[in-house]
Amino acid sequence: MKRTNLTLWLAAGLVYIFLYVPLVIVVIYSFNDSRLNAEWVGFTLDWYYKLFNNQEMLLAARNSLIIAVSASLLATLLGTMAGLAIHRYRIRVLPFLVFAPIAMPEILLGVSLLLFFLQILNLTLGLVSIIIAHTTFCVGFVAIIVRARLQGMDDSIFEAARDLGATPWQTFRLITLPLIMPAVVAGALMSFTLSIDDFVITFFTKGIGEPILPIQIYTMIKIAVTPEINAISTLFMLLTLLLIIIANRLDSGILQEGKKS
């Protein structure tokens, strides 16, 4: 008994070490006063200072934020609608159509979107094409979360609203939307994090001359892994972590309420 426990802890510990030590190293070296990622010299904020003076990098960050915000808003709107539709109309093919892009290899999605934009829509690649691409793969995630929320709820609540005099629109505004709000917000945050660090699909659907953060980082690494990259990675990590914590909070809120009702 004791022995299995020990092995279990050891295995778990190793998993977490492999997961988090590289991240911790990146954070530590972003404050290292040396060009080399080899030894600790002293504490500095130089790399962050350099980062905020790097025009190309700032532009990339700005572009990525524009894309992530637009794509997550669009995906939240469409995904919520899809989640509601999947829950309400039991059409077998509907969930498949909405959720398939989640399971699809990104490379496949990237290539097919590229062909679609160029050959069918005749779209000039740029921010718009990336926003559309990101929206397509985020919709499924929002829909899944919203549907899960609806599945945990008693459908007669919505019937009760109609029964007591609410029109379909009033029922949505006063009952459905407030009740699914935690799922909608969680879906939006999830879409944002998925969009801001997406590489593969962005790589295929981006235009020339518009730097996008993950691709910009990759381009810099090709030359050398500078502490500046550590700095941007740290900031990036912080933002993602924050969003994950918020989404998680909302999600556990959903579970709690589910248990109560």
Partner 1 sequence: MALLELRNVIRRFGDFTAVNNVSLSIEAGEFFTLLGPSGCGKTTLLRMMAGFDVPDSGQILLDGQDIANTPPEKRPIHTVFQSYALFPHMTVANNVAFPLKMAGVASAEIEKRVEKALEEVQLSRFAHRFPHELSGGQKQRVAFARGLINRPRLLLMDEPLGALDAKLREDMQRELINLQKEVGITFVFVTHSQDEALALSQRIAVMNLGQIEQIGEPSVIYGHPTNRFIADFIGKINLIAARITQVSDKTMTLEINQLGTTTLPLKQDIKSGDQGVIAIRPEQVAVHALAKQVEIPHAYTGKVLDFLYVGDVTTYVIELDSGIRIEALLANSSPGRARFFEVNDPVIVSWPQEAIQFLLDQP
Q: Which residues bind partner 1 (CB under 8 A)?
A: 154, 156-157, 159-167, 170, 175, 178-179, 257, 260-261
Q: Assess contact for 190 and 140: CB atoms under 8 A.
A: no
Q: How far is the CB of 184 from partner 1 (least distance, A)?
A: 14
Q: How far is the CB of 38 from partner 1 (least distance, A)?
A: 56
Q: How far is the CB of 173 from partner 1 (least distance, A)?
A: 12
CA 69/CA 130 separation, integer angstroms: 12
Amino acid identity at 182? P
Torsion on CA atoms 162, 164, 166, 168, rounded to nearest 10: 0
Q: How far is the CB of 176 from partner 1 (least distance, A)?
A: 11
Amino acid identity at 81? M
Q: Which is nearer to partner 1, 151 or 167 (CB)?
A: 167
CA-nearest of 153, 218, 227, 220 to 183 is 153
Q: Which is nearer to partner 1, 165 or 209 (CB)?
A: 165
Q: How far is the CB of 164 from partner 1 (least distance, A)?
A: 4
CA 228/CA 50 separation, integer angstroms: 7
Q: Which is nearer to partner 1, 170 or 252 (CB)?
A: 170
Q: Which is nearer to partner 1, 119 or 261 (CB)?
A: 261
Q: Which is nearer to partner 1, 66 or 175 (CB)?
A: 175
CA-nearest of 123, 82, 124 to 102 is 82
Residue with tokens 């912080």: 238
